[in-house]
Amino acid sequence: MGETYARAERAEQLVEAAEALFEAGVMSHSGHANLSARLDGGDHFLLTPGFVRGLRPGQLATVSFDGRVLDGELRSVSAEITAMHTAVYAARPHVGAIIHTHSPSATAFAVAHRPLPCRTEPMLRFGQAEEVPVVPWGPRGSDVSVRGIAEVLERRPTTAAVLLANHGLLVFGPDPAATAHLVVAIEESAEAEIAAAAIGGAVDFPPGAQEAVRAAIARAAS
Ligand SMILES: [Zn+2]
């Protein structure tokens, strides 16, 4: 199990992470996102109620892994995405936080069904030392969509993010702050990839660079 935190502390961390995403300019026009953080005991988590702009800690809902709202209220839009979050927590016992956004450049890759290569320093350093894979489209929160996420996570045991085809980005990490950092690094990378395409295309790191960072991350986690 990863570290667990009391509700109040986790709620503060989630609100700060949401603010950091707006401040970094990685949100889509709609400001749509959902964020969650695992709570003590590991079988329930805090989830944003269906909006993130102006979010306050007391507005977060506590949700069990089987989708029951234990405390607080979820808008129906957020109830639909509960399964998306539980699928990641179930597949990754060390994940402490999950963030879903429609960050514009990352979403361009998701819409194009193009995996996002790891070709920038921040993406390499903030925990995604490999390409971000694409999960096939399924209606949000549906069995097809959730199964697709679980299958990709099983096939790609070290990825910390997936692109949801025709939809957006899903990133996970040890805590809300680290996860928000990775969202920003991925969005920057996607932007750089698209910009580089106009001047001949992005170029890979030298052979072995991603493997070396992945090995260091694995050592730190063990
Ligand atoms: Zn979405």
Can you give the pLDDT at residue 22? 97
For the chain, the straight-line distance linking the first and the last C-alpha, in angstroms and rounded, comes to: 12
Q: Ligand 1 mean position to 206 CA, how many Å?
A: 34
Q: Ligand 1 mean position to 100 CA, how many Å?
A: 7
Q: Ligand 1 mean position to 33 CA, how many Å?
A: 6
Encode the chain (222 residues) as per-residue pLDDT tens digits. Answer: 444 468 899 999 999 999 999 999 999 999 999 999 999 766 899 999 989 999 999 999 999 988 889 999 888 777 678 989 999 999 999 999 999 999 999 999 999 999 999 999 999 988 899 999 999 998 877 888 889 999 999 999 999 999 999 999 999 999 999 999 999 999 999 999 999 999 999 999 999 988 888 888 778 777
Contacts of 156 (CB under 8 A, 6+ apart): 130, 133
Q: Ligand 1 mean position to 102 CA, how many Å?
A: 6
Catalytic positions are 80
Spans of all domains in the chain: 7-221
Is the domain defined by 7-221 classed in CATH 3.40.190.10?
A: no
Q: Taking ligand 1, which is a single-atom ion, which protein residues have CB atoms under 5 Å away?
A: 168
